[in-house]
Amino acid sequence: MQAEVTMEQCASVEREVDKVLQKFLTYGQHCEQSLEELLHYVGQLRAELASAALQGTPLSATLSLVMSQCCRKIKDTVQKLASDHKDIHSSVSRVGKAIDRNFDSEICGVVSDAVWDSREKQQQILQTAIVEHLYQQGMLSVAEELCQESTLNVDLDFKQPFLELNRILEALHEQDLGPALEWAVSHRQRLLELNSSLEFKLHRLHFIRLLAGGPEKQLEALSYARHFQPFARLHQREIQVMMGSLVYLRLGLEKSPYCHLLDNSHWAEICETFTRDACSLLGLSVESPLSVSFASGCVALPVLMNIKAVIEQRQCTGVWSHKDELPIEIELGMKCWYHSVFACPILRQQTSDSNPPIKLICGHVISRDALNKLINGGKLKCPYCPMEQNPADGKRIIF
């Protein structure tokens, strides 16, 4: 029900936005047409005045009247365009009113100020997240400008990985494999530890480019094939396919069973593979933390607003005062699952560093708080099986 209401609110605002966009389109077309007609009219008048000047005849009453009409027409056109433009301003303001009418503007009041750090700390965290997002998106000049205007001091070690990643990605978008291959070779051992196939895929793509060059590149392609030797055990089938494609090189790969090798999707795939593996190797997230936080906030905000209303209605404002947890669990979907969590089946609470999961001798797992509450006379009886055991024999589990 809540989702239906939210969608209706969004649709209401969207309708107002569509009206504004339609008015902008109509105004642009009308403005262009009016100005073209006006320029054509003025051009004709100018030609008549130039002709009269060449003949040396004085300005006739007719031309004087036409000039007066031209001035009046220019004035009327400008006033009409200005009036239409003013009408667009009122339509834009209606969009803002629709947003205020359909959505709660006091979003900051969803949680108490005690939950957050100081305002200066909040501002610094937000600015750092924005700068990191800009670096990750390749907007380096914008990020530098923001650092200067906000007096945010960003260490060179922080932005160096982003500069290198963007330089290599720009080269890949230009179908230049050199920088990416150089990077992959220099990080070969660490990439192998991650079970990455990035270096092989880069060599394969370079080999395919040579194949696309036709029979003239056959010897060069055969020579380059030696780069596949270290990857023969793990990628034997793929190497066999590429070697088999050489048979059709003179006839043209485009009309052969190996035409899929020339698909441009390989370039998009290599960009994704490089981004994923490079970010993993450098300890960076593939997606911008700001984007993930924003998307998660959009999902969680309606739920938090409902919680706020319930808390205020029941006058239990002290129920939510912790900085590191929410009053209830909010489902954000599988996309936002980044690490394992464990909820105690006895207390129905998520474990934490102060209340870690404990494995009993029988193999069942409960939280430390639950274990302490189940101790009776120095002994512990498992809540799931009849085994009695010493509480000290429980082992902490780290996920």
Show pLDDT as tens, one digit a residue, over the chain (399 residues): 444 546 677 788 888 888 888 888 888 888 888 888 888 888 888 888 888 777 777 777 777 888 888 888 888 888 888 888 888 888 888 888 888 777 765 666 666 666 566 777 778 888 888 888 888 887 888 888 888 888 788 777 777 888 888 888 889 888 888 999 999 888 888 888 888 888 889 998 998 888 888 888 888 888 888 888 888 888 888 888 888 888 888 887 788 888 888 888 888 888 888 888 888 887 777 788 888 888 888 788 878 777 777 777 776 666 565 555 666 777 777 777 766 678 888 887 888 888 889 998 888 899 999 888 888 888 888 888 878 888 888 888 877
- In sign, the C-alpha dihedral spanning 166, 288, 129, 137 is positive
User: Which residues lie below 8 Å from residue 137, measured CB to CB, with a gap of 6+?
Assistant: 288
Strands (E), the chain: 357-359, 365-367, 375-376, 379-381, 388-389, 395-396
Choose the CATH number for 343-396 among 3.40.50.1970, 3.40.50.720, 3.10.20.600, 3.30.40.10: 3.30.40.10
Among 307, 382, 320, which Cα is nearest to 345's?
A: 382
Q: Identity (one letter) of the amino acid at 66?
A: V
- 39 secondary structure, DSSP code: H
The tokens for 294 are 């924003």
8 A C-beta contact, residue 187 and residue 168: no
Q: Identity (one letter) of the amino acid at 118?
A: S
Among 319, 374, 318, 323, which Cα is nearest to 344's?
A: 374
